[in-house]
Amino acid sequence: MACRSGCRTQDHKSWGECLRSSNLQLNAGEAKHDQVNFRRWDNELQLYRDARAQGVQPAGTTTAKIRQAMEISEKTGKAFNAERPQDSIIV
């Protein structure tokens, strides 16, 4: 018998053919987790690109730092630059 015990058809020529036809997804949980992380990373990088396009220089690429820089920019009326500490003072 060449098929796996869980095979519905039990008609495959080899155990490998049976396994391939079952379309098993190994580490599917990890793959989904990776997709979520990649999506989050891509979104964060896009947020950073958008900030830089507006002339804002956040202190880092994390969402929190980008949002903080954007908020300071809105409150002060000028593009925040983390390299200039005086820009972080909100009046």
pLDDT at 23: 80
Beta-ladder partners of 81: 57
41 phi and psi angles, rounded to 5 deg: -65, -45
14 phi and psi angles, rounded to 5 deg: -145, 165
87, pLDDT greater than 60: no
pLDDT at 91: 44
Q: Which tens digit of pLDDT belongs to each residue from 17-69?
A: 998 888 877 766 666 778 888 899 999 999 999 999 999 999 998 999 999 99
**Cβ(20)–Cβ(39) under 8 Å?**
no
Distance CA 1, CA 17 (A): 13
85 pLDDT band, cuts 50/70/90, is: low
Domain spans in the chain, listed from the N-terminal domain onward: 34-88
Distance CA 70, CA 73 (A): 5
